[in-house]
């Protein structure tokens, strides 16, 4: 049975109207219509009256009508006084044991030919009873595929879930791990940057396992790590402790790893981390989830390969996602995510919009963005009705291409919120608010971006819900170059952010600065033993020099080639080392000629 509630209140702001709509939706109701200063809602659960009691407290000038008939609910709201909730006779019989009521007698209602018995709700008898809360999730459960992945993980400790961009891999993993009771799940992402910190995804997982996410002080992190290693009963706590501090860059003295050759550094890191993960899995089975592994830096790839092989006999499983099948990590079982049937997507759209629609070939991501736009556009439509600005009596929204949908979503946002979202998109897919020049008074806007489905919270950081979404938002930013220049200048002043500075300098087209910070990024990667990433940074700098010859002089070229040569010499690859040393020698000859 449906019930109708009418809220009669003047001069609400757009945010206030949106909050009322969202409140009713959260408790299984909805606003179905609006008129000048009036909102009309519908719900199938009479306990929605508890929500009206709450709204009465926050909006003292509101007047409420509640009935099984929409016209009667509107009439009751119009004769109510400020803060009154009036109900009709048929509602009285259903709530008489739940609320204290006052009978107002037989009253005339606009649009009714005869008077009706009206009651006023005074207060609740006992605690307020609310309808079950629901979160608006536009998802389709892949029950059969979830079961198939569970079966595959019984015989394999490492699986890669394959699916094209926008196919719903993240949602699938959310559904997969949601029912895994008794397992410890650690999760991270590989953002699609050309320049990322060496071992970034591995350090993320390590920090989660050691329980130091959200702890800001270095001393407190050190104490937490030491305590965790003691709990795990590590065999050589002293060495493990120092190696982990070096790996996480939490040491305050000269690194013990820097004194070792490159390959030995990685072996020590791998054996230490494997021991930590292994002992943790003895306490509680461990699941390590890393998304978008195709973007992983080469140092992490090689370290992850070692970890996977060393943990193959222990209750540790790895789940990766990728949009391409060419993964350099060996020994992975592939799990291909099937496309959701178009009919299922159409049924989901119909469930939300109450309209039948024939979709073109599309992706779950595209449909999700359409449904979010539908909801946001409908909110605006209802607000305009509430203001008396529109005479259109019904709402519908055609299915657009993804660029148009995201542009329309951004256009609906207020300027201050749009500016905040643009700042996040410029910074990248993976966002740590402590590492960005964000005024703390604007931190509340993170919640707005989460509510709108732009980002999601991950421990003490945030991540865009899709790289596609972030890329399309970036395409709408009019001054990207200057924003990147501002961030580059911000990060260049901070120790430990050389990779971010390099990334933003390239986006700002400041090639000289980019080369400088790529060299600094290479040095930083080497300190942690990430020689593969160091080689990558040097190669990127050399590539810029080749295509932007004015960006570097001979001294810079000498430094780059000498850096590459030193790495290969440390690795024992004399042929490659001599190749780069020869370039250095030739460059010195050119310098002497000058």
Q: What is the CATH number of the domain that holds 262?
A: 3.40.50
Residue 489 placed within a domain: no
Cα–Cα distance measured from residue 495 to residue 360, given in angstroms and rounded to the nearest whole number = 50
Given 301, 336, 371, which residue is the final one in a domain? 336
Picking from 298, 317, 336, the residue at the C-terminal end of a domain is 336
Considering the domain architecture, whether residues 54 and 172 belong to the same structural domain is answered as no
Q: In this structure, are 112 and 235 located in the same domain?
A: no
Q: Are residues 26 and 147 in the same domain?
A: no
Say yes or no: 320 and 271 in one domain: yes
Asked whether residue 554 is domain-assigned, the answer is no
Same domain flag for 270 and 206 = yes
Q: How many helices (H) and strands (E) does the chain have?
A: 23, 15
Q: What is the pLDDT of residue 239?
A: 86
Backbone angles phi, psi at 214, to 5 degrees: 90, -10
What is the pTM for the complete model shown? 0.88
Number of domain units in the chain? 3
Same structural domain for residues 159 and 55?
Answer: no
Query: Do 397 and 435 reside in the same domain of the chain?
Result: yes
Helix axes 262-283, 237-247, angle to 10 degrees: 110
Residue 452 lies inside a defined structural domain of this protein: yes
Angle value at C-alpha 424, between 418 and 430, nearest 5 degrees: 150
Mind listing the pLDDT tens digit for each residue in 5-40? 999 999 999 999 999 998 898 888 889 999 999 999
Q: Establish how many alpha carbons lie within 13 A of residue 370's alpha carbon, considering only the half-sphere containing its beta carbon.
A: 24
- Which residues are CB-neighbours of 227 under 8 A, at least 6 positions away? none
Contact 531, 568 (CB under 8 A): no
Domain boundary among 63, 95, 124: 124
pLDDT at 589: 65
Domain containing 364: what range? 347-469
Same domain, 174 and 106: no
Measured CA distances, 47 to 33, 124, 148, 549 (Å) = 21, 11, 40, 72
What CATH number is attached to the domain comprising 106?
3.30.70.1230
In this structure, is residue 562 part of a structural domain?
A: no
Question: Under a CB-based contact definition with an 8 Å cutoff, are residues 317 and 288 in contact?
Answer: yes
At 592 the pLDDT is: 58
What's the sign of the alpha-carbon dihedral 313, 237, 206, 179?
Answer: positive
Residue 589, domain member (yes or no): no
d(CA 381, CA 130): 28
Does residue 182 sit in the same domain as residue 287?
yes
Which regions in the chain score pLDDT beneath 70?
135-137, 194-195, 253-258, 391, 587-594
Residue 283 lies in a domain: yes
pLDDT score of 255: 64
How many whole angstroms separate alpha carbon 522 and alpha carbon 188? 23
Question: Does some domain include residue 157?
Answer: yes
Residue 565 domain flag = no
Is the CB of residue 410 less than 8 Å from the CB of residue 441? Answer: no
- 48 and 90 fall within a common domain: yes
Q: Are 295 and 172 members of one domain?
A: yes
- Give the position of tokens 């960006």: 551
From residue 390, how far is each of 7, 12, 36, 377 by CA, in Å? Answer: 19, 17, 10, 13
Q: Which residue's structure tokens are 């001294």?
A: 555
One domain for residues 328 and 356? no
């Amino acid at each position: 049975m449906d019930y109708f509630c009418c809220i009669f209140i003047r001069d609400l702001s757009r945010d206030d109207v949106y909050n009322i709509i969202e409140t009713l939706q959260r408790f299984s109701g909805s606003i179905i219509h609006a008129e000048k200063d009036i909102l009309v809602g519908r719900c199938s659960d009479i306990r929605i009256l508890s929500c009206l009691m709450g709204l009465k407290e926050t909006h003292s000038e509101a007047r409420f009508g509640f009935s099984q008939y929409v016209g009667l609910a509107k009439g009751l709201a119009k004769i109510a006084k400020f803060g009154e909730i009036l109900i009709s006779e048929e509602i009285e019989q259903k709530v008489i044991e739940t609320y204290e009521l006052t009978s107002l007698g037989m009253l005339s209602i606009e649009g009714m030919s005869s008077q009706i018995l009206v009651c006023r709700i005074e207060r609740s008898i006992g605690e307020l009873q609310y309808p079950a809360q629901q979160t608006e999730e536009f998802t389709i459960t892949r029950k059969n595929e979830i079961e198939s992945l569970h079966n595959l993980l019984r015989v394999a400790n490492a699986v890669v879930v394959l699916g094209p961009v926008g196919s719903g891999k993240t949602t699938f993993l959310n559904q997969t791990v949601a029912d895994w009771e008794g397992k410890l799940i650690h999760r991270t992402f590989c953002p699609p940057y050309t320049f990322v910190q060496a071992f970034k995804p591995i350090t993320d997982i390590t920090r989660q396992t050691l329980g130091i996410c959200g702890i800001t002080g270095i001393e407190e992190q050190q104490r937490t790590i030491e305590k965790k290693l003691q709990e795990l009963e590590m065999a050589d706590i002293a060495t493990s402790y120092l190696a982990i501090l070096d790996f996480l860059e939490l040491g305050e003295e000269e690194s013990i790893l820097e004194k070792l050759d490159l390959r030995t550094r990685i072996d020590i890191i791998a054996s230490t981390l494997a021991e930590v993960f292994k002992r943790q899995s003895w306490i509680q089975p461990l699941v390590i989830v890393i998304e978008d592994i195709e973007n992983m830096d080469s140092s992490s790839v090689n370290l992850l390969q070692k970890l996977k092989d060393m943990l193959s006999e222990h209750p540790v499983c790895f789940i990766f996602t990728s949009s391409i099948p060419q993964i350099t990590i060996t020994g992975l079982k592939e799990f291909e995510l099937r496309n959701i049937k178009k009919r299922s997507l159409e049924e989901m759209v119909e469930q939300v919009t109450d309209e039948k629609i024939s979709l073109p070939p599309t992706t779950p991501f595209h449909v999700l963005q359409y449904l979010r736009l539908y909801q946001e556009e409908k909110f605006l439509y209802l607000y305009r009705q509430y203001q008396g600005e529109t005479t259109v009596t019904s709402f519908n929204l055609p299915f657009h291409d993804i660029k148009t949908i995201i542009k329309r979503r951004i256009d609906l946002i207020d300027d201050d919120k749009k500016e905040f979202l643009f700042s996040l998109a410029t910074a990248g897919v993976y966002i740590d608010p402590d590492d960005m020049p964000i005024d703390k008074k604007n931190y509340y806007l993170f919640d707005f971006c989460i509510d709108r489905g732009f980002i999601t919270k991950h421990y003490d950081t945030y991540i865009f819900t899709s790289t596609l979404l972030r890329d399309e938002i970036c395409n709408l930013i009019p001054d990207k170059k200057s924003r990147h220049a501002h961030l580059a200048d911000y990060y260049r002043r901070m120790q430990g952010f050389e990779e971010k500075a390099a990334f933003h300098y390239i986006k700002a087209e400041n090639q000289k600065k980019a080369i400088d910070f790529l060299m600094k990024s290479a040095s930083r990667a080497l300190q942690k033993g990430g020689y593969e990433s160091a080689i990558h940074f040097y190669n990127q700098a050399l590539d810029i020099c080749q295509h932007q010859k004015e960006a570097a002089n001979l001294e810079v070229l000498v430094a780059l080639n000498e850096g590459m040569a030193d790495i290969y010499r440390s690795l024992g690859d004399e042929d490659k080392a001599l190749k780069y040393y020869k370039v250095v020698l030739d460059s010195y000859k050119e310098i002497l000629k000058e």
